[in-house]
Amino acid sequence: MTRIFSGVKPTGHLTLGNYLGAVRRWAQADQHRADALFCVVDLHALTVEHDPARVRRLSRQAATLLLAAGLDPALCTVFVQSHVDEHARLSYVLECTATDGELRRMIQYKEKSVRARAAGESVRLSLLTYPVLMAADILAYGTDEVPVGDDQTQHVELTRDLAVRFNQRYGHTFTVPRAARPEVGARVMDLQDPAAKMGKSHAATAGIVYLLDEPEVVRKKIMRAVTDSGTEVEYDREEKPGVANLLDVLAACEGADPGELAGAYDSYGALKKDTAEAVVELLRPVRERHAELAADPGHVDQVLREGAERARGMARPTVDAAYRAIGLLPAG
């Protein structure tokens, strides 16, 4: 059976981008067709300036939202990365497989390190090595497929390179995974800055729809989305990125084609209104289920405990094999 692994970082409240680009598909398709693991990758949230209490809170909230979005522990494994030691154990060995040159070339490292420096913060070493830990997340489970949004494609490529290199040098140990991107919703853009991806850790929040935003807030954010000059509704990502983004979101909500949808609108206002309503309806069941689950944190804890137990059992043989292959003496 196909093995799937994917994760979400507790760096902020989950967004519409996270949902359309990743989580919705995990719940509606992936968990039903494969042996899937979904992880709140909390170690990755420590790569940038962070508040410990907030990361802890957001980790629980992210796990609760994954369940609210429909991940079913009877069908898939839901857990928190730091609960399973194998990730960090394997990451070190993969660091001995990667080069600093290939990590410095990662686009997200470049973007996030520039942002940190601009904010007067130092750049943590873990921001540079984070894609190696992500490779460990994936490779520890013999993963075949990694369903992610567009922004993660480069990191999955690096994971493949590391797996192939390790296998060639030390003997076959890792499955070489592939990225699987969604057909629609792979890249939801910021409503106030359609040149930038909607990202949960961004400081300016007016252009970001969070899964737990009240319906009124969702409507307001979408009605105030930056659109483009002219008045004609066309699907043109280059010339009309703001309108194209709204069409992409509406299409992803309705399972329609954005180019075809464009023909149905003769004003930006009407497009915004329908998009706002579609997003409110899309998120309604997730918010409602989240409220129920948040009232029973003991249940979420238990799901995470069982998930970590299962994940540990799956990861340990692969990580042990990697330790042996690279030359480490097994404990007697």
Known binding residues for ATP? 9-11, 17-18, 149-151, 188, 197-201
Question: Could you tell me how many residues of this chain bind ligand ATP (CB under 6 A)?
Answer: 23
Give min distance, CB of 44 to ligand ATP, in A.
7
Task: Please report, in angstroms and rounded to a whole number, the separation of the first and last CA atoms in the chain.
Answer: 34
**DSSP H helical ranges for the chain:** 16-18, 24-25, 31-33, 52-68, 86-95, 100-104, 107-118, 125-139, 153-170, 215-223, 241-254, 258-262, 268-294, 297-326
Binding-site residue ranges: 9-11, 17-18, 137, 149-151, 188, 197-201
Residue 20, SS3?
helix
- 151 lies in the binding site for ligand ATP (CB under 6 A): yes
Rounded-to-integer distance, Cα 70 and Cα 62, Å: 13
DSSP 46: G
Which range in 82-90, 196-204, 216-224, 284-292 contacts ligand ATP by CB under 6 A? Answer: 196-204
Residue 82, SS3?
helix
One residue of 13, 25, 187, 240 binding ligand ATP per CB under 6 A: 187
Give min distance, CB of 239 to ligand ATP, in A.
21
- 194 lies in the binding site for ligand ATP (CB under 6 A): no
One residue of 13, 18, 30, 286 binding ligand ATP per CB under 6 A: 18
CB distance 76 to 31 below 8 Å:
yes
Closer residue to ligand ATP (CB): 4 or 311? 4
Torsion angles phi and psi, residue 296, rounded to 5? -135, 70
Which range in 143-151, 215-223, 227-235, 323-331 contacts ligand ATP by CB under 6 A? Answer: 143-151
Count of beta carbons in the 10 Å neighbourhood of residue 292: 12
DSSP 188: P
Closer residue to ligand ATP (CB): 87 or 200? 200
One residue of 4, 5, 13, 22 binding ligand ATP per CB under 6 A: 22
Which range in 3-11, 85-93, 281-289, 318-326 contacts ligand ATP by CB under 6 A? Answer: 3-11
Torsion angles phi and psi, residue 215, rounded to 5? -50, -40
Closer residue to ligand ATP (CB): 18 or 61? 18
Residues 199-228 that bind ligand ATP (CB under 6 A): 199-201
Rounded-to-integer distance, Cα 160 and Cα 239, Å: 35
One residue of 15, 59, 81, 129 binding ligand ATP per CB under 6 A: 15
Give whole-number Cα distances, 81 to 118, 136, 184, in Å.
Answer: 30, 11, 28
Compute the residue count for the chain. Answer: 332
Contacts of 120 (CB under 8 A, 6+ apart): none
Count of beta carbons in the 10 Å neighbourhood of residue 13: 18
One residue of 4, 8, 135, 138 binding ligand ATP per CB under 6 A: 8
Active-site residue list: 112, 197, 200
- 188 lies in the binding site for ligand ATP (CB under 6 A): yes
Which range in 123-131, 134-142, 180-188, 242-250 contacts ligand ATP by CB under 6 A? Answer: 180-188
Rounded-to-integer distance, Cα 123 and Cα 117, Å: 7
Residues in contact with ligand ATP by the rule CB under 6 A: 6, 8-9, 11, 15, 17-18, 20-22, 148-149, 151-152, 185-188, 197-201
